[in-house]
Structure 1
Amino acid sequence: MKHEHTKIEADCEPADSLPALQDPEVFWNNLSVAAVDDAVLAQNHIISASRSHPAHAAFDMLRTRMLQALNEHGWSRVAVTAPTRGCGSSFVSANLAFALARLNSVRTVLLDLDLRAPSLDKTLGLTAHDTMADYLSGVIAPENFLVKAAPNLALALNDRPEDNSAELFQTEMITSVLEELEETLCADVMLFDMPPALEFDDVLGFLPNVDAVLLVAGGGVSTAEELEKVERIFSGVKPILGVLLNKAEGPTAY
């Protein structure tokens, strides 16, 4: 079965009705291109980028099921988190983003919002040049902050940790910044790589800005009690799209 034409309908005006500076195609075309190294991605187990590892099929399946759920509800924003550190939520976020990028008609944005311990730049073998806190505070324009890892995959990386992330996530400015980003890039899917849900109140404070949550459980790391606690925290706040078991014991276990 082919999934390469899956499309989420975004509420965007036709390009020919927009001024040039507001045309999503112009923004995408003008984004700086990230120098992604396939060898580094493979070394860090970002298997969806090349599809050389057979386990990439699991991320293709996750991608398609997630798109179906988003389409059904008219959603676009998904937070990816885990109960605790060491579960592989960044690994899942990155692989899911590259799996989505293979759908040419789906525009995806991946943001590193684990502000206390940013890692996506290292995972992708890239160097972040600006601070996510400055971007979320409206100091940096999206076209000057994001980079493009594929024609339809934009990355928002972070070059340093922040201690006040919980407070930042609950400001009114962040709502405006994310709305601007979604509209500017006419994004179909926005993935937020979040910190662990049980570590601080960062994720809980950010939930008003997302439509749903993907929860990553680490094989041999997460306990049933931790998963139940996270589900209780999210209950009545945001729906959980699913709980993904990420077996992190070795490089061949995904």
Structure 2
Amino acid sequence: MEKLQAAIDEARKRRSDGPSATGRSRSAPATLPVGWTELPEFRPQANRLSRSRIVANSNNSARVAVDMLRTRLLRLMQENNWKRVMITSPNPGCGKTTVAANLALAMQRQQERRALLMDLDFAGSSLARTLGLEPQHDVSDLLEGTVSPSEQMVRIGDNLAISANRASRHDKDEVLKTGQAADVLDTLEKELDLGIMIFDFPPFFANDSAIAGASFVDCAIIIGAAEQTSIHDIDMTERDLSQYTNIAGVVLNKCRYNSGAADSYNYPYR
């Protein structure tokens, strides 16, 4: 824990002396950082991913749409020197966690950068269930500095780290408003040499977490559900959230279209 606290203290100094968050440079790692090798390795089961509609590493035709989302997002983030993206939705049930997990696993197939996927939807946590994880500690424990990354996080391969919650908690949203959480995220970015950080946030209208978290992200993607999310709700979310961070795009999830023998799920991007 002393090592983590020392790294947090250094992150605080960088935050006060260094450039702003949007001035981060793109990393191009060649070897694994020490912090990365300390993370336990996790291998998700293909049948669990399939049940959770995670298609990023499958032969499903929907994988093409996921890859297009990944590539367009990466290009936009590189053009603007962004690293941190918030995934949110106007309301529950839009599939934002599914999109976030698909996006992260698509990133994992690109070996030139390391990525982090973190569950910050404390009241509606579903990332662990989606991937088949059984965390021993919550993300809030990591952000509060009471556990180390190796105690809370896992890695998939050599370039995707996952930070998921054990269960939903309705009393942890306030952690996102602390300087401690921001310092821990800065430390993780540096110690793990992260090229992109993906945060699964609560629905925008559920609480003020997305507004609070906008201070430590560079941009946001808004997820809407076809035949479920109204244009008004998407417009309201985009207009309100744009006051606090950049809007990278809007994804319409759960679009069913006929592709011969079976229906697929599309992730168009704007």
**Smaller-chain TM-score range?**
0.7 to 0.9
Match of 2:104 among 76, 85, 97: 97
Per-residue deviation at 1:163? 2.1
**1:111 counterpart letter in structure 2:** M
Cα contact 1:63–1:99 (8 A) shared by 2: yes
Counterpart CA distance in 2 for 1:156 and 1:107 is 14
What is the match of residue 88 of structure 1? Answer: 95
Match of 2:167 in 1: 160
Give the corresponding residue for 2:151.
Answer: 144
Give the letter aligned to residue 265 of structure 2: A
Q: Secondary structure in 1 aligned to 2:123? A: coil
Q: Can you list the C-alpha shifts for 1:90-131, whole angstroms capped at 9, x where unaligned? A: 000000001000001110100011101111010011212111
How much does 1:248 deviate? 5.9
| Paired position in structure 2 for 1:201 | 208
188-197 or 27-36, which moves further after superposition?
27-36
User: 5 Å matches for 1:1-150?
Assistant: 9-10=26-27, 24-50=32-58, 52-150=59-157
Q: Contact 1:111–1:156 (CA<8 Å) still a contact in 2?
A: yes
Distance 2:209 2:26 in 1: 30
Please list the CA deviations of residues 68-107 of structure 1 after superposition, one character each: whole Å capped at 9, or x if unmatched.
1111111100000000011000000000001000001110
Query: Do 1:88 and 1:248's aligned partners in 2 also have CA atoms closer than 8 Å?
Result: no
Counterpart position of 2:199? 192
CA contact (8 A) 2:26 2:83 kept: no
CA–CA separation in structure 2 for the residues paired with 1:235 and 1:126: 33
Instruction: Give the 3-state SS of the residue equivalent to 1:245 in structure 2.
Output: strand
User: What secondary structure is seen at the aligned counterpart in 1 of 2:105?
Assistant: helix
Counterparts of 1:55 and 1:11 in 2: how far apart (Å)?
A: 29
CA contact (8 A) 2:115 2:159 kept: yes
State TM-score, norm by structure 2.
0.83
Q: Which amino acid aligns with 2:116?
A: V
- Equivalent residues of 1:133, 1:162 under 8 A apart: no
Q: For 1:225 and 1:123, how far apart are their aligned partners in 2? A: 29
State the secondary structure of the residue aligned to 1:138: coil
Q: Contact 1:27–1:185 at 8 Å: present in 2 too?
A: yes
2-side partners of 1:209 and 1:252: how far apart?
A: 35
**CA contact 1:41–1:49 (8 Å) conserved in 2:** no
Question: Which amino acid is 1:121 matched to?
Answer: A
Q: What fraction of aligned residue pairs are identical, expressed as a percent?
A: 32
After superposition, the C-alpha distances for 1:117-158 in whole angstroms (9 at most, x for unaligned) are: 111010011212111111111111112221012221110011
Unaligned residue ranges in structure 1 (runs of 5+): 1-7, 16-23
Q: Is the 8 A contact 1:106 1:188 kept in 2?
A: yes
Cα distance in 2, alignment partners of residues 59 and 11 from structure 1: 23
**TM-score in terms of structure 1 length:** 0.88
SS state of the match for residue 252, structure 2? strand
Distance, in Å, in 1 between the alignment partners of 2:138 and 2:62 is: 33
Aligned-residue Cα RMSD (Å) equals 1.8
- Aligned with 1:40: secondary structure? helix
Match of 2:5 in 1: none
Structure 2, unaligned runs of 5 or more: 1-24, 258-262
CA distance in 2, matches of 1:94, 1:69: 19
User: How far did 1:202 drift?
Assistant: 1.2
Whichever residue aligns with residue 205 of structure 1, its letter is: A
Partner of 2:264: 252
